[in-house]
Amino acid sequence: MMLNSRRFLLVALGCGLVFVPATGLRAQQSADTSAQAQPAAGQDQEVDPLKRQRSDKERFAAQKAVRQELKGAYKTWLDQDVAYIISDEERKAFKNLSNDEEREAFIEQFWLRRNPNPDSPDNEFREEHYRRIAYANEHFAAGKPGWKTDRGHIYIAYGKADSIDSHPSGGAYTRPMDEGGGETSTFPFEVWHYRYLEGIGENVDIEFVDTCMCGDYHFTIDRGEKDALLHVPGMGATQWEEMGMAKKADRFKGGVESLGTGPLSGAESSKEFDRIELAAKLFAPPPIKFKDLDNFISEHKLINGPVFPFDVRTDFVKVTENTVLVPITLQIKNSDVTFVTKDGVAKGVVNILGKVTTIMHKTVQTFEDTVEIEQPAELLEKSLNRQSVYWKALPLVPGLYRLDIAIKDVNNPDHVGIYGRALDVPTYNDEKLATSSLILADQMNAVDSHAIGSGNFVIGNTFIRPRVSKNPATPVSFNRGQQLNFWMQVYNLGINDATKSNQAQVTYEIVDSATNTVVFQKQVDSKELGAHSDQLTVEKTLPIAGLQPGKYKVTIKVDDEISKQEVAQSVPFVVE
């Protein structure tokens, strides 16, 4: 049973910058220089070159060099995480910062400026932004990460299109009259239609074409670029070319489109500037809509009381090279919750407070939810042997953190539970074959298009509810009437430069731990899961009614034939 969730608080700490007036520094330096320029009588007039006072020009050059030295996580954040949404002024300001403390403060204020609702506990803009990056990586990869593609860029900046006219195989195509009419054959292409984009206009059509036939759709303002017969003499004629009123050579006489003359060519040529302007607007950073917040600080005090037991599971899913989605799953026994019955409905209420801090005790994420468990009063007794689960996904930079969680039984305020563990968020290097967590789930299914990448227990386009054990050393358990679901993502597969496709073998198997015998095994080619992507999602549902009670282990192995790397993940489980 899932808990109904009402979100209350997501805190980000704002920091201000203090600048020291340059005039004061110059005055002090001038005084120092003057003093040094007048040595005491009888002293040697030579100056040690190591102690020589630097000129203003040398000092400013050194300061500039320090500011421009941008590496590691901060460079990734600037060039990858927010590449499409940061303004030119913000980019310049970030590059001019001289130390990591200033950069951390800038990043916090960057997200706070974009919070659509300053009074909301969650920064919905940031969460939606990283959800879009994860979706782009999963759906638009083409020999490079999905966020780097043009479709990924547009999706991250503007979200899902209102409608998509997709031609994934290209082929026969009847041109509309505004493209010249006539019959031709095309490369694969898509036209994304947005009813309205703020700052751009209404009824915006964005065209992408895959001229390499390798899955790499690029943005184009030339609607003639998708014409596969464009450079084939005598083929793919427009309506006027068929009637002898125009020549194919007319298509290459300049302009931004290679459509040539046609019934509507006069009106279309007048829109060429509009197409150039549209491209400039689409790929410009969106304006900042929301006011700055100086400080948004909240502190929480936990109530001491008897132990309220609960179980916690953490997983790791790559979003970008420097951002990892960390789904946190809490499991609570209904029998540990105090229910109050009113009007025939038994209701239990639990407050959940979570905090992620660095090893220097700096808070980087907090979440606070109130969740409710409801049952008809007559069914309460039967439901007490069940468990309820809660899910929260946090984007984090790779590194070592501490995760603290506290829960309180609202109907019994002295009933409190506390959890505290280290949280080691992995780094996913682009050159190294890697995987997400291998998740065993009691429920897994594809979600509809409206729920992709959003909602509880949703990763990408899959609803997956993890099984949670009492502690990391205890295997999760399934009964024989259930199905075993497992899910894992694979990152950084090699891509063949010629075919623009991957080439790997994915093997998953179940082993009886008592006898060490393989009871199930299957091997699939990576092309079956996504031929042109360096990232794959492996998901499988298996009935376990045929397994005898006991301990087992599921393993997924990936052998990349291009990069010559191997990776594997294993998770134990118990059949009851």
Domains (ranges, CATH) in the chain?
Answer: 162-282 (no CATH), 429-576 (2.60.40.3880)
Q: Under a CB-based contact definition with an 8 Å cutoff, are residues 217 and 298 in contact? A: no
Whole-model pTM over 0.75: no
Instruction: Check pLDDT > 50 for residue 553.
Output: yes
Task: Map 14-49 to HEC letters.
Answer: CCCCCCCCHHHHHHHHHHHHHHHCCCCCCCCCCCCH
Record the tokens describing residue 85, joined without a space.
């949404």
Whole-number pLDDT of residue 216: 92
Phi-psi domain of 255 (left: phi exceeds 0; alpha: psi -120 through 50; beta: other)? left
Instruction: Check pLDDT > 80 for residue 225.
Output: yes
Q: Which residues of 441-463 are buried (b: 16+ CB within 10 A; e: fewer)?
A: bbbbeebeeeebbeebbbbbbbb
Higher pLDDT, 61 or 378: 378
Q: What is d(CA 190, CA 51) in angstroms, rounded to the nearest whole number? A: 65
Residue 274: C-alpha distances to residues 84, 190, 261, 280, 492 (Å): 22, 20, 18, 10, 39
Higher pLDDT, 120 or 386: 386
By CB neighbour count within 10 A (0-12 exposed, 13-18 middle, 19+ buried), where does 522 fall? exposed
Residue 86: C-alpha distances to residues 92, 96, 155, 260, 286 (Å): 10, 15, 15, 38, 8
* pLDDT tens digits for range 311-342: 999 999 998 878 899 999 999 999 999 999 99
By CB neighbour count within 10 A (0-12 exposed, 13-18 middle, 19+ buried), where does 558 fall? buried
Record the tokens describing residue 335, joined without a space.
């029998």
Higher pLDDT, 291 or 75: 75
Instruction: Check pLDDT > 60 for residue 47.
Output: no
* pLDDT tens digits for range 259-313: 767 676 666 655 666 777 888 888 876 665 433 322 322 344 444 557 888 999 9
Higher pLDDT, 144 or 34: 144
Q: What is d(CA 560, CA 545) in angstroms, rounded to the nearest whole number? A: 33
* Interval 7-26 mean pLDDT: 34
SS3 state at 74: helix
**Average per-residue pLDDT for the chain:** 80
Whole-number pLDDT of residue 38: 45
Q: What percent of the chain has pLDDT over 70?
A: 79
Which residue carries 């759709």 as its tokens?
217
Q: Under a CB-based contact definition with an 8 Å cutoff, are residues 480 and 549 in contact? A: yes
* Interval 141-166 mean pLDDT: 92
Q: What is d(CA 35, CA 29) in angstroms, rounded to the nearest whole number? A: 10
For CA atoms 542, 543, 544, 546, give the dihedral sign. Answer: negative
Helix, strand counts (H, E) of the chain: 12, 27
Among residues 145, 80, 142, 139, the alpha carbon closest in space to that of 497 is found at: 142
Which residue carries 């079956």 as its tokens?
528
Whole-number pLDDT of residue 65: 53
* pLDDT tens digits for range 420-451: 889 999 999 888 999 999 999 989 998 876 66
Record the tokens describing residue 145, joined without a space.
């990460």
Higher pLDDT, 30 or 369: 369
* pLDDT tens digits for range 166-177: 999 999 999 888
pLDDT-based confidence at 525, cuts 50/70/90?
Answer: very high
Higher pLDDT, 287 or 4: 287
* pLDDT tens digits for range 338-385: 999 998 899 999 888 888 888 777 778 887 888 888 889 888 888 888
pLDDT-based confidence at 523, cuts 50/70/90?
Answer: very high
Whole-number pLDDT of residue 468: 92
